[in-house]
Amino acid sequence: MPHTVLLAPAGHQVGLTTISLGLVRALDQNGVRVAYAKPISTRGRDHSIKLVELGSSLLPPTPIPRQRVEDLLSDGDDQTLMEEVVALCAAAAEGADVLVVEGMVPESGMIFSSRVNTLIQKALDAELVLVAAPSDQSPEELANAMSIAARGFGDSNDGATHSCVINRIPARGPSGVAPWRTAAIAEKLNPIALIHTEEELRAPRVLDMARWLDARIISAGDMERRRFRDVRLCAMTVPHSIKVFAPGTLIITPADRDDIILAASLAVLDGMKLAGLVLTGGVAPNERVMELCQPAFDTGLPILWVEEGSFQTATRVGTMDRKIPDDDKRRVELTMATIAEHFDRGWLGGLVSNQRARRLSPPAFRHKLIQDARSARRRIVLPEGNEPRTIAAAAIVESRGIAHCVLIGNPDEIRMQAKKQGVNLPESVELIDPVIVAPRYVEPLVEARKSRGMTPDRARSELADGIMIGTMMMHLGEADGLVSGAVHTTAHTIRPALQIIKTAPGADLVSSVFFMCLPDEVLVFGDCAVNPNPTAEQLADIAIQSADTAKAFGIEPRVAMLSYSTGTSGGGEDVEKVKQATDIAKRLRPDLLLDGPLQYDAAIMPDVARTKAPNSPVAGRATVFIFPDLNTGNVTYKAVQRSANVVSMGPVLQGLARPVNDLSRGCLVEDIVFTITITAIQALRAGA
């Protein structure tokens, strides 16, 4: 059995499952092979198991049914129960370094949860972590309550030897300060995570509200992704009702209040991102009014309809269960990532200091990206500064200290767009008006492109484009990297960089890679986006660039040069090109683990490698996969991405003297955040 940590509640409604999720993620981010088990079933469905499966690649065993537990306890057969618990946890922990065990929570009519948790801790020889939430308690009162809970586990020293997590801490204490790092806590407890209440983690989807109300869907819009943070009942006149219109607000209004429906639609068309409308009263809304409002609905505004009146609906909304639904992957991911950041790194390190060699899982990869970017704190220019997703991403990047963001666009428009979205744009985000700054780049642009016939008039025309301004900022050392593409094509994004920035020393071309985030590891695929049919020399250059990119991002490069043939098993012009590219790359970089030609299965599957390429230093354990042409690479990465439900990050451009990265026009805010993060790290590696 690996090192085992038991999370046990010290009170009611402490958020034990979310803390378990966060600890699993924190360990995974540290490259630890982590397992999870919930030995005893909760009444009804096993919600915790479903959330763990949704937020990780783990498949925890089915808990022991509650009836079985009650039967054994009523017969006084603690020993058999604990034997079953140990067997279940041993099965869950196979191959793991640390096992996270979620204890029992006290439920209505149940009086034995504390006793069972004590038995589990002893049976598993587990390190105990108590989880509490202060509710209306002071730090001193909470410390006393947790000390009492700790003694229930046989602690002889007032709980001082037990670690604890304090969850759902109010943002401010009664005196206006956050008082949770006090002597009273430190004397009696070892707090390893202090987690303040974050409303973003409790924000349900409009879809969840539709299910709760059993509402009819008039317009689904973005109900599966749009979340609400506030609910307001609007039944007064329009001037009074519009005062409560705010981003993330769900509006409840009678279905016959055409004036409020029209006012809400106008607000949405003006950029106000309301969460949705709930129409009440059981009467059908006016068809003509709904037709007039259709442009607002087309923006993604969800419209729900219920039979009950407004007051009854508002009352039901107030009783909504806010726990995470077992199909809300985005909320699970946000919860795990947020809580993971709060765990004490020293405590985590103590759990894993003597474990086996670590792997780079997708969560560990993303965590490493953010940590590396924070240490770099590079200046990244975002030419699409008025674009809503870009503004939201810049606010996140700046507030998390990942990079310093520069938005190019009209400052007043940017601030207005941020306000409409409910985005709190930090003052440190730099806003640059392209109309004001463009003239000072005319002369440098003429100088940079004079060999191509650049004139002042043409330069002024080119500098009407924010991407060209951002590129000139990099050229003059005023910015370290550039991210664009949310509303522009790839060609539009990289053309100025190819003209002005040029390739890095030693690189003959610009290529790309995708980081393929498989359930258990991150692989690098190149080139799947830029070069249609590279020569053998270019293919070797792509392999070397991709290996260096992998290493720069913490992935040990073992490079497979892919073909439809492994070794000398086949022939043909395409195979010969890969053979030549392999020889060239080995000659240029003898330090790299690189081999080819290899078929994909021989490159990634150890059992196939033993048969097809038994002497290869790469086969069966490749981390970098180089495709012979764009057609093969693009088809393969999309097939893997879609068929295996794999997250792909990219394309990440490589070979430029300063980093420029492209976005998909369908990108999400989190995609932009990670692209900025990657760009900042590339800038650090390039010495920008």
As a whole number of angstroms, the distance between CA 534 and CA 541 comes to: 10
Per-residue model confidence (pLDDT) at position 421: 86
- pLDDT of 103 reads 93
Note the Cα 198 to chain centre separation in Å: 17
* Amino acid code (one letter) for 383: P
For 661, the enclosing helix (H) or strand (E) is strand 660-662
What pLDDT score does 569 carry?
64
User: What CATH number matches the domain at 511-655, 3.40.50.300, 3.90.550.10, 3.30.1370.10, 3.40.50.10750?
Assistant: 3.40.50.10750
Instruction: Give the model confidence (pLDDT) of 658-673 as tens digits.
Output: 999 988 888 888 889 9
Q: What is the pLDDT of residues 41-50, one digit of tens each?
A: 876 557 889 9
Q: Which amino acid is located at 74 in the chain? A: S
Cα 655–chain centre separation: 27
What are the b/e assignments for 501-527, b being 16+ CB within 10 Å?
Answer: bbbeeebebbbbbbbbbeeeebbbbbb
Q: Which amino acid does the sequence have at 628? A: P
Name 533's bridge partners: none
* CATH class entry, domain 205-318: alpha beta
pLDDT of residue 359: 55
Closest CA to 640 of 656, 652, 653, 627: 627
As given in the structure block, the two tokens for residue 44 are 């009804």
Can you name the CATH fold of 362-500?
Rossmann fold (3.40.50)
* Count of Cβ atoms closer than 10 Å to residue 544 Cβ: 25
Q: Report in angstroms the alpha-carbon separations of 512 from 237, 494, 668.
A: 56, 12, 20
How many residues appear in the chain?
Answer: 688
Amino acid at 221: G
CB 228 within 8 A of CB 250: yes
CB 263 within 8 A of CB 238: yes
The CA–CA distances, whole Å, from 101 to 93, 125, 147, 167, 367 equal 10, 12, 21, 18, 23
CATH superfamily, domain 3-201+328-352, is P-loop containing nucleotide triphosphate hydrolases (3.40.50.300)
pTM for the full model? 0.70
Q: Are 3-201+328-352 and 362-500 the same fold in CATH?
A: yes
Tokens found for residue 410: 């009209």
Domain boundaries, the chain: 3-201+328-352, 205-318, 362-500, 511-655
Number of other residues whose CB lies within 10 A of the CB of residue 470: 30
At 231, which amino acid appears?
A: V
Nearest to 395, CA basis, from 375, 376, 419, 373: 419
Residue-level pLDDT at 79: 78
Separation of alpha carbons 262 and 285, rounded Å: 12
Q: Which of 102, 100, 95, 90 is nearest to 26 (CA)?
A: 100
One-letter amino acid at 510 equals V
What's residue 29's pLDDT? 87
Q: How far apart are the C-alpha atoms of 173 and 180, rounded to whole Å?
A: 9
For residue 231, the SS3 value is: strand
Looking at residue 123, its pLDDT comes to 84
- Residue labelled with tokens 């046989």: 154
Q: What number of other Cβ atoms are within 10 A of residue 415's Cβ?
A: 14
Token pair 């021989």: residue = 602
Dihedral angle, C-alpha 378, 379, 384, 388, nearest 10 °? 70
What is the rounded CA–CA span in Å between residue 490 and residue 651?
A: 10
Spans in the chain with pLDDT lower than 50: 155-160, 173-178, 354-358
